[in-house]
């Protein structure tokens, strides 16, 4: 038995450990690996045999087990790219950012997470915050944090599918209003208003109306694609709610444009629309959550009534 055999056994162990770390996707820095190696060498001692090394390495467990243990003990993955060293998400000067590719699942969890008490949460993509409607619903007493085991998971599939009808209906309203009023709209139309109701900006009729149709149609089409992919119920309902917000916003701006071009004063269509664009998605999400809660209750309470009260 030689010192070379002892060193080779240690080197082999840590080579396998590094491979296991890479395979797990965890981040383990070189200094920590060096500390672990020093620990092994220290325990083996200067005159240690191969059997001593084997014993010490056995205490650490297999390289794979050690990799899992070290990853669990370390800090959580902060999204830092191994290649560029740039964090894909985090905070800069206190402002959250997320540069990861958008996903319907992450977006849905930002929209509806009643277990998170924070109403303002980092956006799922981009810079800044968005509203966690789930937290708002809990604060207002509309739902309880643990009303559902899985958000919207117990809601009947047809209820989940039916949520798409809401943005589609508003999109239809935008298209109808645009078609009915198109001929009467002047070539240049108001597009922005001050708080006092004064027109603050104008745009061309074609680009304005098409832009508003797009604001309603594109998110609705994206929500339809989330539904078509048979995504989890949470993703589908949240996609319906988000597209409902944008479609309602488009409808309110178009209604205000028509209102102003007819010579009428005030910005009540805009304010009414803003209120609706906040209230309707909230109502949609809360309603589906309550349907899910009722389904869970019906399941559990009917089981109990069949089996008798639990001990």
Partner 1 sequence: MAVNEAIPSQFRKGVVELAILALLHDGEAYGAEIVDTLGDHPGLAISAGTAYPLLSRLKKSGLITSVWRESPSGPPRKYYRLSIDGDEAFGSMAKAWVDIRDAMDSLLRGGSRP
Which residues of this protein are in contact with partner 1, per CB under 8 A?
A: 114-117, 144-147, 149, 296-297, 299-301, 304, 310
Q: What is the closest distance, in whole angstroms, from the C-beta atom of residue 9 to partner 1 in the complex? A: 31
Instruction: Give the residue with the Cβ less far from partner 1, 52 or 296.
Output: 296
Beta carbon of residue 149, minimum distance to partner 1 (angstroms, whole number):
7
Nearest CA among 231, 245, 249, 257 for reference residue 285: 245
CB nearer to partner 1: pick between 238 and 245: 238
Q: Which helix (H) or strand (E) holds 177?
A: helix 165-181
Element (DSSP H or E) covering residue 191: strand 188-193
**Shortest gap between Cβ of 184 and partner 1 (angstroms)?**
52
Q: How far is the CB of 146 from partner 1 (least distance, A)?
A: 5
Alpha-carbon distance of 139 to 133, in angstroms, equals 10
Nearest CA among 249, 256, 257, 309 for reference residue 274: 249
- Which whole-number Å values give the CA distances from 274 to 204, 208, 248, 251, 270, in the listed order? 23, 18, 8, 10, 6
Nearer to partner 1 among residue 148 and residue 235 (C-beta): 148
Q: How many CB atoms are closer than 10 A to CB 156?
A: 13
Please tell me whether residue 231 adopts helix, strand or coil conformation.
Answer: coil
Tokens of residue 24, six digits: 């797990």
**Separation in Å, CA 159 to CA 165, 206, 238, 240:** 10, 37, 13, 12
For residues 262 and 299, which CB has a smaller minimum distance to partner 1 in the complex?
Answer: 299
Closest separation in Å from C-beta 300 to partner 1: 4
* Closest separation in Å from C-beta 288 to partner 1: 18
Distance CA 44, CA 5 (A): 13
Q: Give the DSSP letter string of 138-150.
A: HHTTSS-TTS-SS
Residues in the chain: 311
Q: How far apart are CB 240 and partner 1 at their closest, in Å?
A: 24
Instruction: Find out whether 67 and 95 touch, Cβ atoms under 8 Å.
Output: no
H or E stretch at 110: helix 104-111
List, in sequence order, every beta strand (DSSP E) within 194-267: 199-204
Give me the least distance between CB of 172 and partner 1, in Å please: 37
Nearest CA to 239 among 124, 148, 93? Answer: 124
């Amino acid at each position: 038995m030689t010192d070379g055999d002892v060193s080779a056994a240690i080197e082999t162990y840590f080579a396998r450990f590094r491979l296991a770390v890479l395979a797990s996707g965890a981040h383990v820095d070189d200094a920590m690996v060096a500390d672990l190696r020093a620990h092994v060498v220290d325990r083996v001692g200067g005159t240690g045999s191969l059997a001593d090394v084997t014993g010490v390495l056995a205490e650490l467990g297999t390289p794979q087990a050690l990799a899992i243990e070290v990853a669990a003990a370390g800090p959580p993955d902060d999204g830092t790219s191994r290649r560029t060293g740039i964090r894909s998400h985090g905070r800069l000067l206190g402002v959250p950012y997320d540069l990861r590719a958008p996903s319907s699942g992450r977006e849905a969890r930002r929209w509806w997470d009643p277990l998170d008490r924070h109403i303002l949460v980092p956006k799922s993509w981009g810079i800044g915050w968005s509203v966690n409607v789930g937290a708002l619903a809990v604060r207002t007493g509309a739902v309880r944090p643990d009303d559902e085991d899985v958000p919207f998971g117990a809601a009947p599939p047809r209820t989940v599918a039916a949520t798409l009808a809401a943005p589609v209906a508003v999109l239809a309203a935008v298209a109808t209003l645009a078609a009915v009023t198109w001929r009467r709209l002047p070539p240049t139309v108001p597009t922005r208003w001050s708080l006092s109701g004064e027109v603050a900006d104008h745009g061309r009729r074609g680009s304005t109306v098409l832009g508003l149709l797009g604001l309603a149609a594109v998110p609705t089409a994206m929500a339809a694609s989330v539904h078509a992919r048979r995504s989890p119920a949470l993703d589908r309902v949240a996609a319906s709610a988000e597209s409902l917000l944008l479609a309602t916003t488009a409808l309110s701006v178009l209604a205000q444009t028509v209102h102003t071009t007819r010579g009428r004063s005030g910005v009540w269509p805009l304010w009414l629309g803003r209120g609706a664009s906040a209230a309707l998605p909230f109502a949609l999400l809360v309603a589906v959550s309550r349907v899910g809660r009722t389904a869970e209750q019906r399941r559990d309470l009917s089981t109990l009534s069949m089996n008798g009260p639990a001990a």
